[in-house]
Chain A
Amino acid sequence: MSVLLAATAAALFGIGTYLVLQRKLSRVIVGVGLMGHGANVLLITAGRRGRSPIIGSSDPSGFADPVPQALALTAIVISFGVTALLLALAYRSWLLTHDDEIADDAEDREVARHGHRDAELVDAAAVEPVDPEGDPTPGEGTP
């Protein structure tokens, strides 16, 4: 039984990781959700197995451990809320770009393109006009 649950958790984490590495926002969100389920399955397996822990129903020594179940319940509520927020953001992103692709960091690309300027004095860069096309040949201009 616990091997089955462990395999389930592993599969959920594996599929989740694969989806999170995709560029489509919708897949990333599903991936995060799956990983959350994997973590919850792990939590459930952490406790002792047994009958449902309802006081007075039977002998307490045969009860399942209720603590991990309470923990998993809390975790489910939290991931529910955060997933809702994430979906709202994805919708916002779709409204703005009409796409659910995750874009690159524009600033990073800018720095990569103009990186050599930083080799010069900073104030030289400050008075230089910003070239929207970018990519002046290195080695030219200021010595």
Chain B
Amino acid sequence: MNVLLALPVVLPLLGAGVSILVGRSRLAQRVVGISVLTAVTGVAVAILVHVDRHGPTSTQSGGWPAPLGITLVADRLSALLLVVASSMLLAVLLYAIGQPGAERSHVGFQSVYLVLAGGVAAAFLTGDLFNLFVAIEMMLTASYVLITLGGRLEQVRSGMTYIVISLLASMLFLAALAFTYSATGTVNLAELARRVPELPFGTQAALAALFLVVFGIKAALFPLYFWLPDSYPTAPSPVTAIFAGLLTKVGVYAIIRTQTLLFPHVLPAGLFYGIAAATMVVGVLGAIAQDDVKRILSFNIVGQIGYMVIGIGLFDVAGLAAVILSLVHHIVVKTSLFLTEGLIELHGGSSRLNRLGGMVRTAPGIAVLFGVAALALAGIPPLSGFVAKFSLMAAITAQHEWWVLAVAILVSLLTLFSMVKIWVGVFWAPAGPAGGEGPAEVEVAPGPSAPLLMLAPTAVLVAGTVAIGVFGGPLYELAGRAATDLLHPQPYLDAVAGR
């Protein structure tokens, strides 16, 4: 079992190397990429099953014992996220291979993509705060390359913002690590969980706030979200899809891990509610103001992150279970929305609402895919968003935080509105001159029909949002067990310490 834990990190990195070696053959690169990610998905499922039966498990890489060596550890939360993340990575890779563009015209795409996969897995599995920094850097550095792939002017411009912001967050993270080490003398999560409560309360609060800021930048929380809607839309759609699905969620995962394990009840719940409410409102209002499909979806990422932060503020089993469920739901639904957006762009030749139209007739298949995913994001039963939001609102109601509940419901409605805006603009608006007076600048030349390799992964992910809704019960129970682990971390700590 212990060897399995290293595989999700090691396999993609080895695959990245091999992918460079066989760079002359695109077919060989694809075989390497797909087989590595398939293997990682399989391993992740095995880890999840094992961890759910036997509790957290760990391995000490290189045989160095815990406080000094690098510990890889999996509990239910990280194993669940690993399963979802690796299946998303696989689906998006297939989509990217099918799509004309990014993957075909860049030799480095596959290997950089695999490094990203390794970084995401390492971030979920690490039991060491400094190693979390390294994992996030690995993931981000790969993302810097992917977001500027192609080197077009607007990509360079927005990619620059993205890189500089991420670097600032990394520098703050490094400073936070330095403070943590000088206060406690360790960066191992198990040791930290033991020593942090012995610190004076002021020091604890300062460290907790610093880590919240650092991961808040990565997760795009208010007021540190502004880089996201600016930079994501310029990347090729499979790249945006995987960023939207995974990168901000790694930030949320890190917030959950640090705030529950190291700083429980240090920061006031009201702080989390305030941040969450502001994030949700700003995100959804920003989405409504935009008139480009990719930008609407990007602002919606910000809005949805707010829901997860509410649950961290609630800090009980129901609240954290709802956060975990929201994470899973949001990873799947956001990835599928951006993949659908890629299909729209391929078919309509643009992502701007006023250049698109009439696709409900010209591309009914895409309309169905988008419709289901959009309703899932808004939280319409029986789709995944309903399960996630219902469990969250039940948890809020149990703690009598009525104003938070009101904001959450309002933002839900506005999210639906922003999705309807895309629906009306892309699918219902009259296409071409038929619809309006005045010179028709709207040119909707029906593009090539989408390749099967693009349609199939999108359809599978959209079906996944339905499945999360239908199998909401077992998934919620799993999330509940994961949340219980977070609140009673002794088995996790024992696993990290290698006992």
Closest chain-A Cβ to B27's Cβ sits at a distance in Å of 29
Known: A93-B157, A105-B157, A123-B428. 20 other contacts (CB 8 A): A13-B175, A39-B178, A42-B175, A43-B181, A71-B177, A78-B141, A82-B163, A89-B163, A96-B151, A106-B154, A107-B233, A107-B290, A115-B289, A122-B291, A123-B357, A127-B440, A128-B354, A128-B436, A129-B438, A129-B440
Q: Which of A40, A85, A102, A114 contacts B141 (CB 8 A)?
A: A85
Q: Which of A25-75 contact B (CB under 8 A)?
A: 25, 28, 32, 35-36, 38-40, 42-43, 45-47, 67-68, 71, 74-75
Which of B's residues lie within 8 Å of A, judged by CB?
68, 130, 133-134, 137, 141, 144-145, 148, 151, 153-154, 156-161, 163-164, 167-168, 170-172, 174-175, 177-179, 181-182, 187, 230, 233, 288-292, 295, 353-354, 356-357, 421, 424-425, 428-430, 435-442
A46 touches B179 (CB 8 A): yes
Q: Find chain A residues with CB under 8 A from B133 CB.
A: 75
Q: Find chain B residues with CB under 8 A from A47 CB.
A: 181-182
A32 touches B167 (CB 8 A): yes
A143 sits at the interface (CB 8 A): no
Q: Find chain A residues with CB under 8 A from B233 CB.
A: 107
In the complex, what distance in Å separates the CA atom of A74 from the CA atom of B68? 15
Q: Digit string of A81-120 for contact with B (CB within 8 Å is 1, else 0)?
A: 1100110011011001100001101111001001101100
B429 touches A127 (CB 8 A): yes
Q: Find chain B residues with CB under 8 A from A25 CB.
A: 160
In the complex, what distance in Å separates the CA atom of A127 from the CA atom of B144? 37
Which one of A20, A25, A82, A114 has the highest number of Cβ atoms from chain B below 10 Å of its Cβ?
A82
29 of the cross-chain contacts (CB-CB < 8 Å) are: A20-B164, A20-B168, A25-B160, A32-B167, A32-B168, A36-B171, A36-B174, A46-B182, A68-B178, A71-B181, A74-B134, A75-B133, A85-B141, A85-B163, A89-B148, A89-B156, A89-B160, A93-B156, A93-B157, A93-B160, A105-B158, A105-B230, A118-B288, A122-B291, A126-B357, A126-B425, A127-B435, A127-B442, A128-B436
B441 touches A123 (CB 8 A): no
Q: Find chain A residues with CB under 8 A from B145 CB.
A: 85
* Known A85-B144, A123-B424, A126-B354; contact A118-B163, beta-carbon cutoff 8 A: no
Closest residue of chain B to A74, judged by CB?
B134
Q: Which of A38, A102, A130 contacts B175 (CB 8 A)?
A: A38
Closest chain-B Cβ to A66's Cβ sits at a distance in Å of 10
Closest chain-A Cβ to B170's Cβ sits at a distance in Å of 8
A125 sits at the interface (CB 8 A): yes
Closest chain-B Cβ to A2's Cβ sits at a distance in Å of 9
Q: Find chain B residues with CB under 8 A from A115 CB.
A: 289
Q: Find chain A residues with CB under 8 A from B438 CB.
A: 127-129
* Known A115-B289, A118-B288, A126-B353; contact A97-B153, beta-carbon cutoff 8 A: yes
In the complex, what distance in Å separates the CA atom of A86 from the CA atom of B144? 9
Q: Find chain B residues with CB under 8 A from A106 CB.
A: 154
A68 touches B181 (CB 8 A): yes
Q: Which secondary structure characterizes the binding site on chain A? A: helix
Q: Find chain A residues with CB under 8 A from B134 CB.
A: 74, 78
* Known A105-B158, A123-B425, A127-B438; contact A35-B182, beta-carbon cutoff 8 A: no
* Known A71-B130, A111-B291; contact A130-B441, beta-carbon cutoff 8 A: yes
Q: Find chain A residues with CB under 8 A from B429 CB.
A: 122-123, 126-127
In the complex, what distance in Å separates the CA atom of A128 from the CA atom of B433? 10
B289 touches A75 (CB 8 A): no
In the complex, what distance in Å separates the CA atom of A82 from the CA atom of B170? 11
In the complex, what distance in Å separates the CA atom of A132 from the CA atom of B100? 30
Closest chain-B Cβ to A98's Cβ sits at a distance in Å of 12
B174 touches A75 (CB 8 A): yes
Closest chain-A Cβ to B438's Cβ sits at a distance in Å of 6
Closest chain-B Cβ to A53's Cβ sits at a distance in Å of 13
* Known A32-B164, A32-B168, A111-B290; contact A126-B144, beta-carbon cutoff 8 A: no
Q: Find chain B residues with CB under 8 A from A85 CB.
A: 141, 144-145, 163
Q: Find chain B residues with CB under 8 A from A79 CB.
A: 167, 170
Which one of A93, A106, A123 has the highest number of Cβ atoms from chain B below 10 Å of its Cβ?
A123
B181 touches A81 (CB 8 A): no
In the complex, what distance in Å separates the CA atom of A64 from the CA atom of B293? 56
B174 touches A122 (CB 8 A): no
* Known A45-B182, A89-B160, A92-B156; contact A40-B436, beta-carbon cutoff 8 A: no
Closest residue of chain A to B432, judged by CB?
A127
In the complex, what distance in Å separates the CA atom of A91 from the CA atom of B286? 32
In the complex, what distance in Å separates the CA atom of A85 from the CA atom of B166? 13
Closest chain-B Cβ to A20's Cβ sits at a distance in Å of 7
Closest residue of chain A to B68, judged by CB?
A67
Closest residue of chain B to A103, judged by CB?
B157
Closest chain-A Cβ to B299's Cβ sits at a distance in Å of 11
Closest 7 CB pairs of A and B: A127-B436, A46-B182, A39-B174, A42-B178, A126-B429, A123-B429, A46-B181
In the complex, what distance in Å separates the CA atom of A93 from the CA atom of B393? 47
Closest chain-A Cβ to B456's Cβ sits at a distance in Å of 30
